[in-house]
Amino acid sequence: MSDYSLFWMSISQHLLDCVVVNEIWSTNLRGVKVQDKQDFPDTASLVTGSQEFADNLIKVSKKSQDLISDFYNSQKNDDFDPDPFNIGGSFLSLAQNMSADPTKLMDAQANLWKGYMDIWRNMALNASGQDSDAAIEPAKGDKRFRSDEWSKNQVFDYIKQTYLMTSKWINDTVADVEGLDEQSRQKVDFFTKQFTDALSPTNFFWSNPDVLKHTVETKGENLVHGLENLLDDLKEGKGKLNPKMVPDGAFEVGKNISITPGKVVFQNELMQLLQFNPTTDKVYKKPLLITPPWINKYYILDLRQDNSFIKWCVDHGHTVFIISWVNPDERHIDRNFEDYMSEGILAALDAVEQTTGEKEVTAIGYCIGGTLMSATLAYMAAIGEKRITACTFFAAQMDFEDAGELLMFTDEDQIQMIEKKMETAGFLEGRNMATTFNMLRSNDLIWSFMINNYLMGKDPFPFDLLFWNSDTTNMPPKMHSFYLRNMYQQNLLQKPGGLTLGGQAIDLSKVTIPIFVQASKEDHISPFESVFKATKLMSGPAEFMLAGSGHIAGVINHPNANKYQHWTNASKKKYETAQEWLEDAKESPGSWWPHWQKWLAKKSGPKVDARDPAKGKLKPLEDAPGSYVKVKAKAGKSASE
């Protein structure tokens, strides 16, 4: 399976649909006259414009041929891998274990047919005018079947229920197979769901009522525009499909996104350090240093002025510094985890002290930036350094035993494959990581854009978060291998002395400063049960807080938005698990930011005069957001190059 083969399954069907439509409608609809528009309430406009419709479908057929030709030409390179996720062995094991118990499979098949019979019976009752509940409904939060046609139209209702019944049966049957090791179990469960999601009727022309309606309304222009979008995306991806999530030119960093005023006050080969302009006359004495993930860009914390975490912190009296990581290329091939600590966090601390005169700071580490921060705190504890006096962690893992679905992509075969790619290119392309993360929410981050861009023929909506999501960063090979092997694969950070950085044994239990640990209840990247373990690994006072929503929206939730909720627990009890903590927690509506601000304010020292970065001891190098954040991820060379 290639990294876009799931797309291709739907595209192939789309092309076949287009050819069939072209043959049927271009042949049969030319010259058709409307006898009575009441007889064709949904297709009258199509029929009256059949010549235009047929012409559009001829264009579709031609573009389909171009698309197929381009696709197959793109597969001729030497580095084409039919199974980049190494799932073949897991599914072979699944087949062997499944065939070992044919009776169980037959029982499952019988249950599926019973489900079909329930659907047919209910459909017959509805057709006869009797009320009958659906045999199966979409899961809560499933956005695919929101159109009224999926419930009101019996044909589409039948298609929907049959699909839901079948996909549930496939996933349940696979999950019920015994004899698989845990890693194979995770893989077959995950990729089976990817398969059933790919086959959703919403992803196909003939079985999506919204697409059919739009095709009639536009006389087929949506199909022409959709294939143009598809061809453009394939060309831009050099044969690999990456649907646009936002329209070209909708956002520009420093123009209409990431515009909180500030200065770059320091830089080296790995990062720029930004200091933001104060908006209050007085500020807390201790500056706030933020370490974002190096896997994507810092401005997730500074999207728009009305949802910017950075601006909110500045408005609440904090002198905010943030690290803006370099977008690596082959020049950074030897940079490793220790370099990101020494030339990242430690260098930033030196620069903060130089420009403000303050030695002590508070800090934030977000996601893997928090993982790096925790290791740095342990290093500082080992050398007796106390410059960070309180630290907040956003969705950051330190114990990776229960790190969720990403563990599937970190077995030895996977890591060796990634290392081979990095050896060829000199770095890991950001789009490789983006594909993996998007697969964790394929219906929202893959298939919805397939439908909108290619079937509906529309441009995507200009959404700042998705612009950031598409603005990828590359990974230095040594840094990335160290992280995958030592954190995800071997889970050494949580083991005292498991890692050595800067010549010091890393022991998180030596960290005694107060910490605030934020997690999100629906986080699919850093499960809150895993994040919670940080409260037990460090020895200082620890406050845990659980936010509603997921990995991003759970963090970026401005109080003015009045969205979601959060849970806090004032008990002094030592909880073993996050679930135990949650049972005693109090749920409160809205953002958790004000609750966190109360915690941080007590640890940030007295108020002093506001600090203007233009007047600090370090001469500003350029205006925020700086130049590093504007660098686009460089594409790597293929093995054939």
Residue finishing a domain among 199, 218, 236: 236
Percent of the chain scoring above 70 in pLDDT: 86
What pLDDT is stored for residue 17 in this prediction?
45
| CB of 98 closer than 8 Å to CB of 166 | no
Is residue 250 one of the residues assigned to a domain?
no
pLDDT tens digits for 411-467?
A: 888 898 889 889 888 999 888 888 888 888 888 989 999 999 999 999 999 999 999
CB 219 within 8 Å of CB 59: no
Residue 99 lies in a domain: yes
74, 132: one domain = yes
Q: Are residues 164 and 87 part of one domain?
A: yes
8 Å CB contact between 415 and 627: no
* Helix, coil or strand: residue 273: strand
Q: Are residues 277 and 177 in the same domain?
A: no
Lowest average pLDDT, out of 87-91, 361-365, 366-370, 565-569, goes to: 87-91
If asked whether residues 64 and 199 sit together in one domain, one would say yes
How far apart CA 300 and CA 402 sit, in angstroms, is: 25
**Is there a single domain that holds both residue 217 and residue 275?**
no
Which uninterrupted H or E stretch holds 608? strand 607-609
Phi, psi of 52 (to 5 degrees): -65, -40
Instruction: Report the C-alpha gap between 191 and 439 in whole angstroms.
Output: 9
DSSP state of 552: T
Query: Taking the C-alpha atoms of 104, 106, 110 and 116 in order, what is their torsion angle to the nearest 10 degrees?
Result: 110
Average pLDDT over residues 549-573: 95
**What is the overall mean pLDDT for the chain?**
87
Would 249 be classed as within a structural domain? no
Q: Does the model's pTM come out above 0.75?
A: yes
Total domains, the chain: 2
pLDDT in tens, 582-612: 999 999 999 999 999 999 999 999 999 999 9
Average pLDDT on 160-183 reads 92
Structure tokens at 474: 């590359």
Residues known to be catalytic: 367
Q: Collapse the DSSP code of 532 into the 3-class scheme (helix H, G, I; strand E, B; otherwise coil) and give the result.
A: coil
Spatial contact of 322 and 274, defined as CB atoms under 8 Å apart: yes
Rg (CA), the chain: 27
Structure tokens given for 638: 């293929």
In 280-434 the beta strands, taken as DSSP E runs, fall at 282-284, 288-291, 320-325, 361-366, 388-394
Name the 3-class secondary structure at 272: strand
Mean pLDDT of 336-341: 97
Chosen domain end from 236, 254, 281: 236
Residue 549 CA to residue 590 CA, distance in Å, equals 11
Please provide residue 16's backbone torsions phi and psi, each rounded to the nearest 5 degrees.
-60, -45
Instruction: Summarize the confidence of residues 357-374 as an average pLDDT.
Output: 98
pLDDT band at 130 (very low <50, low <70, confident <90, very high): confident
Same-domain pairing of 552 and 620: yes
CATH number of the domain that residue 614 is part of: 3.40.50.1820
C-alpha to C-alpha distance for 48 and 42, rounded to whole angstroms: 12
- Please report which confidence band the pLDDT of residue 635 belongs to, taking 50, 70 and 90 as the band edges: confident
Look up residue 227 and give its amino acid: L
Q: Which residues pair with 282 in a beta bridge?
A: 609
Residue 556 to residue 566: CA distance in whole angstroms: 13
242 lies in some domain:
no
Instruction: Tell whether the model's pLDDT for residue 322 goes beyond 90.
Output: yes
Cβ atoms 486, 499 nearer than 8 A? yes
Question: Which residues, in sequence order, are CB contacts of 281 under 8 Å at separation 6+?
Answer: 609, 610
Task: Say if residues 1 and 85 touch (Cβ distance below 8 Å).
Answer: yes
Q: Do the beta carbons of residue 41 and residue 62 sit within 8 Å? A: no
Q: Does 202 share its domain with 284?
A: no
266, 477 in Cβ contact below 8 A?
A: no
- Residue 639 above 80 pLDDT? no
Q: Which residue has the higher pLDDT, 409 or 337?
A: 337
Using alpha carbons only, give the angle 385, 272, 599 rounded to the nearest 5 degrees. Answer: 50
Mean of pLDDT values over 17-39 = 39
Q: Is residue 422 part of a domain?
A: no
91 lies in some domain = yes
Per-residue pLDDT reduced to its tens digit, 521-531:
999 999 999 99
Which residue has tokens 């500082």? 380
Q: What are the pLDDT digits (tens) for 38-79? A: 333 344 444 445 667 666 766 666 666 666 666 556 555 545
What range defines the domain where residue 39 resides?
5-236
Q: Based on the domain organization, do 159 and 229 belong to the same domain? A: yes
Q: Is 364 exposed, middle or buried (0-12, 13-18, 19+ CB in 10 A)?
A: buried
Do residues 181 and 287 share a domain? no
Cβ-contact 4, 198 below 8 angstroms:
no
Determine the 3-state secondary structure of 399 from DSSP. coil
- Tell me: do 326 and 217 sit in the same domain: no
Among the listed ranges 11-15, 65-69, 233-237, 555-559, which one has the minimum average pLDDT value?
11-15
Please report whether residue 247 resides in a domain. Answer: no
What's the rounded mean pLDDT across residues 313-319?
A: 98
Q: How far apart are the first and last CA of the chain?
A: 22
Which pLDDT band holds residue 567 (cuts at 50, 70, 90)?
very high
Calpha distance 510→503 (Å, rounded):
16
Flag whether 277 is in a domain: yes
CA-wise closest residue to 244 among 252, 253, 235: 235
Query: Same domain for 226 and 292?
Result: no
The stretch 153-179 carries a mean pLDDT of 92
Same domain, 195 and 297: no
Q: What's the average model confidence in pLDDT over 561-576?
A: 94
**Residue 25 reports pLDDT greater than 50:** no
- Using the predicted structure, report yes or no on whether residue 34 has a pLDDT greater than 90: no
